[in-house]
A = this chain, B = another copy of it.
Amino acid sequence: MDTHLIDLDADLRDCIAQCTACHQACTELVSHCLDRGGEHAARAHINLLLACADICRTSADTMLRQVPQHAATCRACAELCTACADECARMGSDDPVMQRCAEICRACAESCEEMAG
């Protein structure tokens, strides 16, 4: 379903899609990690996932609104996504779901870094 109602350049559209995917992945990973328990359900890890999901959404919406300061929200998003990717990769060497989330976070971080310029 095409939901693009206004013209945005392709790089911006791609970064919005990455942020939307990463918001959803981190939100889903909270459930997965709470089910696993242990360090996966530790306060610092769950709160990092939640904060990452949150800034991903804000970053996507700021780009959708074509606000010139979207570089600032993309920069913050890249930093949170990188932290999430590192942590998920480290904690999830035996867990394909964690690895998949790490990949999605890494791709979003790279896309946001480019948008931040």
Contacts and interface: CB of A to CB of B under 8 A. Distances in A.
Interface in A30-53: 30-32, 34-35, 37, 41-44, 46-48, 50-51
A35 B24 contact: no
Q: Which of A1, A3, A107 has the most CB of B within 10 A?
A: A3
A78 B35 CA distance: 28
Contact of A35 (B21, B37, B43, B79): B43
Given A25-B3, A29-B5, A61 B51 contact: yes
What bracket does the count of chain A residues touching chain B fall in? 35 or more
B73 A62 contact: no
A59 to B, nearest CB: 9
Q: Could you say which of A43, A48, A50 has the most chain B C-beta atoms within 10 Å of its C-beta? A: A43
A75 to B, nearest CB: 7
B69 A79 contact: yes
Contacts of A28: 3-6, 64
A69 B51 contact: yes
A72 interface: yes
B3 A31 contact: no
